[in-house]
Amino acid sequence: MWGDLGIVIWDCTLRLNARFAKARRETKLHLMKTLMTCLTAQRWPFLAAIASALILGGAYFFQYVLGYDPCALCYDQRHIHQAVIGVGLIGGLALTQKPVQPYAMWICLIIGAIFVYSAGFAFWHAGIEYDWWEGPSTCTAGANVNLSTADLLSVLDGGGPVVLCDEAAWTLLGISMAGYNALMSAGLAIASVFIGIKRR
Q: For 35-61, write each residue's pLDDT tens digit.
A: 556 678 888 999 999 999 999 999 999
Confidence of residue 152 (pLDDT cuts 50, 70, 90): very low
Task: Measure the CA angle with vertex 75, ends 70 and 77; round to 5°.
Answer: 115
Q: Which of 194, 200, 197, 192 is nearest to 52 (CA)?
A: 192
Summarised one tens digit per residue, pLDDT across range 56-81 is 999 999 999 998 899 989 999 999 99
The mean pLDDT value for 175-191 works out to 95
Q: In whole angstroms, give the CA distance from residue 9 to residue 191.
A: 48
For residue 33, the model assigns a pLDDT of 61
- Give the global pTM: 0.75
The average confidence (pLDDT) of the chain is 81
* Residue 5 pLDDT > 70: no
pLDDT in tens, 82-132: 999 999 999 999 988 888 888 899 999 999 999 999 999 999 999 999 989
Between 130 and 18, where is the model more confident?
A: 130
Residue 119 in contact with residue 84, Cβ under 8 Å?
no
Q: Which residues have C-beta within 8 Å of that of residue 180, sequence separation ≥ 6?
A: 172
**Contact, 170 vs 68, CB < 8 A?**
yes
Three-point CA angle 126, 129, 133, nearest 5°:
85
pLDDT reading at 138 higher than 50: yes
pLDDT at 161 over 90: no
Residue 27, Cα to own-chain centre: how many angstroms? Answer: 26
